[in-house]
Amino acid sequence: MIEAEVHLSLHNFLRSQAGFPSWPHHLTMARLVARALRVGRSALIQVGAACGFQGRYRTSFVASALMWQGPVIIVATPCVQQRLLRVEIPRLQEWLKIDKSIRTGDNFPNSEFQGLFVTSPQAWLAAQLANKEAFPKNIPTIIDGVDDLEDWVTEQLTVSLTAQDWEELMLACPKQVDRIRSVRIELTRELFQHPVNPHECYLISPKEEETLIRLFSVLNLDNLPDTWRNFYQHYQQQEVQANNLQVNNLQANNLQANNLQANNLQANNLQANNLQPKKFVSPLVWANIIRRQGSFSLHSAPVEPANILSEIWERQPVVLIGSAVEAETEAPIFRQRMGLGDLTCLKFSSDSQTEAIQLYVPLQFPLPNTPEFQGGFINKVRTLLCLSATSPGLTVILVGDVPLKSQVGTILASEFGSRVQVEKTCLEENGVLVSGWEFWREHQSVLPAPELLIIATLPLPSLENPLVAGRVTYYKKRHLDWFRLYLLPTALKELQRAIAPVRENQGIVALLDSRVINRSYGADVLSVLSPSARVNYLDPNLFSRKEEIGD
């Protein structure tokens, strides 16, 4: 069987490569991928945040894909593609003596192609969501980096209306130019009345939605440009949702009028229905405002695209590979949100010898929502920087709150000089980077691994962000635990990815969010930070550990 062949060949390859990055799960992962290719059963593999950051696991699935006798599709970001095409694939091809054809692009070569085809998530998802024939069915597909799968899908499913789209609408509907222009002016006036927020992003209000619906009611839908037609479909789906809810309410009232038992049965049915995928995709509609230009753009996307994605997974066996998708091996929340059915799930444990961090969580620290937190945080950061002054290496301070991030950068720069930078990649050897979570996620691969990572608060999505608030409302309407099903899993995934580079140096993470101690979900946070050695006090010797090891 191919599992045994892959195991033996990869084992010999790893033994022959002096200095090859070690990972104890290479053979296990290669066998599982090979089995998925042979049996045609989909799988979800979590390799761990540290391994995912370093990318060591990719040798395993590349070996299986090369040795499989049929065609295989690998879906990966452009950056990962370069690593695969320039390093992983050539190195294994030379060792395995396999001349399997390698192709890249946005469309599968042809029905006769039996090689390895490498493509981007955007190209693959665009074709799958449009149900195009760019990728034939039943070809095993390996998707790398599925931690970002939901973001990729949302990006593909988002329909946006920009200033240019309004111009195209007026060209397509010349008889309604005055009405279109009037609606655009009215929307501009209404949207710019929203109070300023750091995101400059706002959910569409009922009044603004009504303005849009009035516009669609006078337009010839057959003549709409494609973007406008797609945008309008979300309102149709919303009407279907409203009608379904109205029917359910009428049925509930009738049952309640009959007897209490029927009412209880209806309540149970409604609860069961909340846990099942809907036949429609509830839309999330929002506006982005550019105040200095006096312009806006409208966007619409499904809140939870499980219904759409479930059809994609049925077309071919898929191996989904991520770093830290979810704390549980079976990843039930991720699978539900992504429409994944029954599949093999595997999660590799972290290496406690090479990936352990030192975790500092102070006791009796002010809670983030108290007036004392800001001053206490700045003082604690100042203390940590002074204690680590003699220790070389990068220090990263993660602050999710935008105003606080700017204030921290200003105060620290006045005390520690130019070594302190706010969201910059040009840093001194012992530099201090003050950053938000998004900037750190995008640039951590090109920056040195930090010796000290200071975290202000857990990366729980802010309800001040209208998009987050819209998703929370979606869960509330279905009587689901929005914190445990959405906010907390998102924060845990972000947290694990953020500290992954620190594990390379077995460095120090200072988590200054006392909710880890005072809230019930703190145990979940500490669990995903494992392996770690936790301390609740500052010892100057903590920062001289590496110097002592070197001596």
* Same domain for 282 and 390: no
Length, in residues, of the chain: 551
* Residue at 185 is within a domain: yes
Strands ordered across the beta sheet of 43-46: 102-104, 116-119, 72-75, 141-144, 318-322, 43-46, 344-347
The answer to whether position 462 is within a domain reads: yes
pLDDT of residue 524: 96
Specify the long-range contacts of residues 426-430, CB closer than 8 Å, at least 24 apart. 427/394, 429/392, 429/393, 429/394, 430/392, 430/393, 430/394, 430/395
Looking at the fold, whether 339 and 361 belong to one and the same domain comes out as no
* 291: Cβ contacts below 8 Å, ≥ 6 apart: 192, 196, 200
Tokens in use for 172? 């397509």
Sequence-ordered list of residues with C-beta below 8 angstroms from that of 428, at least 6 positions apart, any chain: 418, 419
352 belongs to a structural domain: no
* Nearest-angstrom CA–CA distance, 431 and 392: 9
Residue 135 and residue 167 in one domain: no
**pLDDT above 70: residue 238:** no
| 309 and 153 Cβ atoms separated by less than 8 Å | yes
> Is 121:80 a contact under the CB 8 Å cutoff?
no
User: Is 300 within 8 Å of 234 (Cβ atoms)?
Assistant: yes
CB proximity list for 91: less than 8 A, separation 6 or greater: none
What digits encode the pLDDT tens for the residues 514-548?
999 999 999 999 999 999 999 998 887 887 755 44
Asked if the structure places residue 87 within a domain, the reply is yes
Q: Which two tokens stand for residue 429?
A: 């050897």
Task: Collect all residues with Cβ–Cβ distance below 8 Å to 304 and sequence separation of at least 6.
Answer: 281, 282, 337, 474
Does pLDDT of 61 surpass 50?
Answer: yes
Q: Tell me, what CATH number does 385's domain have?
A: 3.40.50.300
Model confidence over 367-407: pLDDT tens digits?
999 999 999 999 999 999 999 988 889 999 999 998 899 99
Q: What is the DSSP letter of 463?
A: T
Same-domain check for residues 217 and 333: no
Give the pLDDT confidence score for residue 276 in this predicted structure: 39
Tell me: do 162 and 287 sit in the same domain.
yes
Average pLDDT of every residue of the chain: 88
Instruction: Assess whether 338 and 200 both reside in one domain.
Output: no
Mean pLDDT of 184-212: 91
Collapse the DSSP code of 121 into the 3-class scheme (helix H, G, I; strand E, B; otherwise coil) and give the result.
Answer: helix
240 and 285 within one domain: yes
Both 134 and 173 in one domain: the answer is no
Q: Does 368 fall in a domain?
A: yes
What mean pLDDT comes out for the span 452-459?
Answer: 97
Q: Is 138 helix (H, G, I), strand (E, B) or coil?
A: coil
pLDDT(237) > 80: no
How is residue 325 annotated by DSSP?
A: S
**Residues 333, 276 within the same domain:** no
Contact between residue 158 and residue 300 where contact means Cβ atoms under 8 Å apart = yes
User: Is pLDDT at 272 greater than 90 in this prediction?
Assistant: no
Q: Which domain holds residue 57?
A: 2-140+316-347
CA angle 521, 524, 525 (to 5 degrees): 95
* Bridge partner list, 283: 302
pLDDT for 257 equals 43
310 occurs within a structural domain: no
CATH code where residue 51 lies:
3.40.50
pLDDT for res 224: 93
Residue 281 lies in a domain: yes
Same domain assignment for residues 122 and 9 = yes
Q: Are residues 269 and 374 in the same domain?
A: no
Q: Lowest-pLDDT range, 51-55, 231-235, 340-344?
A: 231-235
Find the mean pLDDT for residues 167-178.
95
- DSSP assignment, residue 207? H
Look at residue 478 and tell me if it is in a domain.
yes
pLDDT of residue 258: 47
Both 453 and 395 in a single domain? Answer: yes
Residue range 485-502: mean pLDDT, rounded: 96
**Domains identified in the chain, total number:** 3
Q: Which two tokens stand for residue 214?
A: 């009035």
Report how far apart, in Å, the C-alpha atoms of 157 and of each of 160, 351, 470 are.
Answer: 10, 38, 16
Residue 235: per-residue pLDDT: 64
Helix, strand and coil content of the chain, in percent to the nearest 5, comes to: 55, 15, 35
